Amino acid sequence: MKLPGHRPGLPGKVISLCIVPLDPAYKAGLPGHVPAKGVWMKTEEELHVTAYRTYIFVWVGLVILTGLTYTVAVGLQAEGWAVLIALVIAGTKSGLVLNYFMHLKSERLTIFRVIIPLVMAVLLVFILLTFSDLAFRGGVK
Amino acid sequence: MSETKGFVFEEIKDYTGAKLGMWLFILSEILLFGGMFILYSAYRYKTPADFHHASKELDVILGTLNTIILLTSSLSVAACISAIQKGQRKLSMYLLMVTMALGLLFLVNKGFEWGTKIEHGIYPNSPALLVRTRGEILFFGLYYVMTGLHGLHVLVGVCVLFVMLIFIVKEKINRMHFTPLENSGLYWHLVDIIWIFLYPLFYLIT
C-alpha cells in the first residue's frame, strides 16, 4: 500500500521529512493498529552539487588573495594599516571558504547563514571590550 | 490488500539536520581559537615592536607554502564531496588521498619549522627564550600554543579523513549517503580557515 506523497528516493535527490495530519478519508482506510497521529510525507529538495569549476575558481581567488596579503605585508610600512588590510583579506578568504567550500551560499536555512556572522560578531565584541580596557590602563603591563 | 504494520517509510535522511551538529562544533572551535586570538591581539597591542622583531625569525616562505597547501587541500576535499555526489567513487577516493597527503605535508613543514626553532633553543620556557624581552617571550609562547593546537586539529582531521576513506572503500559512503564525508569536509575547512587567520598574524607582522 502506497502512502500519499510517497516517492521513491532518486539518486541525486535528497529527502527531508515533515509530518502532516492524516487525511480522514485515508485514515478511515487504514487497518486499526496503525497509529492515528500522522503520516510521513516526503518532500524532495534539490541537492546542490557544486561544479568542480566553481571550486577551482574559488581556489584561484584564494591563492591570489594569499599573494596579495604577502605583498601588502612586505611592501607596506605602516603597522596599523597592514594589520587592518591583512585582517580584511583574511576575512574575505574565509568568507570564500565558508560560502563556496562549506556550501553556506547554497544553504536555504537562515540559521546556518546567520550563525557564523553571529559568532564573528561575538568575537568582535570580546575584542572591542578587551581593547577598551587595555587602552585605558595605566602603566601596568 | 497487503497488511500495513505501522508506518511504511524509506530510509530517513535529514540532510540539513545531519550537518547541524558539525556546525555547532565548528562554532565552539571558532570560539576556542577566537579566545587565543584575543590574547594575541592584547599582547601585540602592548608590545608591537617585540612582536615585529620576533616575527622576523619565522620562516615566511614555509608559512606561505603551508597556506597554499591547506587551501589546496580544502579544494580537494570539496571536490571529493562533489565527486561522491556524482557517483564518481574512484575520483573521490583519489581526491581524499590527496587531501590527506597535503595535510600530512603541512604537518611535516610544521615539524621542520618547530625543529629549527627548538634547535636554536627557542621553545616554551627555554633559557634562551627567557632572557629575551617580555613581548618576544609572549610571541613565541603564543606561536607554539596556537600553531600547536592547530597542528593537533590538522592531525585529527587527517585521521578522520582516513576513516572516511575506509568508508568510501567499503561503500558505506556512497552517492545516496555521504553526510559523514560532508561533515568531515566541514571540519577540514574550519582547520583551513583558522590557518588563514594564523598566517598573517604570525608570519606577516611588518
**B140-187 per-position pLDDT tens digit:** 999 999 999 999 999 999 999 999 999 999 988 888 788 899 999 999
Nearest to A40 among B9, B34, B79 (CB): B9
Q: How many domains does chain B have?
A: 1
Beta bridge partners of B93: none
pLDDT band at residue A20 using 50, 70 and 90 as cut-offs: low
Helix H or strand E encompassing A40: strand A38-46
Share of chain B above pLDDT 90, in %: 76
**B76-93 per-position pLDDT tens digit:** 999 999 999 888 999 999
Q: CATH number for the domain including B94?
A: 1.20.120.80
CB pairs A-B closer than 8 Å: 161
Task: State the sign of the Cα–Cα–Cα–Cα dihedral A62, B22, B183, A115.
Answer: negative
Residue-level pLDDT at A34 = 53
Evaluate whether residue B5 is within a structural domain.
Answer: no
Q: 3-state class of B63 per DSSP?
A: helix
Residue-level pLDDT at A137 = 79
Evaluate whether residue B134 is within a structural domain.
Answer: yes
Nearest to A79 among B3, B19, B206 (CB): B206
- Given a cut of 90, whether residue A93 has pLDDT beyond it is yes
- Nearest chain A residue (CA) to B30: A119
pLDDT higher at A8 or B108: B108
Residue-level pLDDT at A22 = 59
Q: What is the pTM of this model?
A: 0.82
Residue-level pLDDT at A73 = 85
Q: State the complex-level ipTM.
A: 0.87
- Nearest chain A residue (CA) to B184: A102
- Contact present, A14 and B14 (Cβ < 8 Å): no
Nearest to A70 among B15, B79, B204 (CB): B204
Q: Does A71 touch chain B (CB under 8 A)?
A: no
Domain span at residue B93 reads 32-203
Evaluate whether residue B182 is within a structural domain.
Answer: yes
Q: Does A40 touch chain B (CB under 8 A)?
A: yes
Residue-level pLDDT at A27 = 63
Evaluate whether residue B9 is within a structural domain.
Answer: no
Per the structure block, which three cell numbers stand in for B51?
612582536
Evaluate whether residue B66 is within a structural domain.
Answer: yes
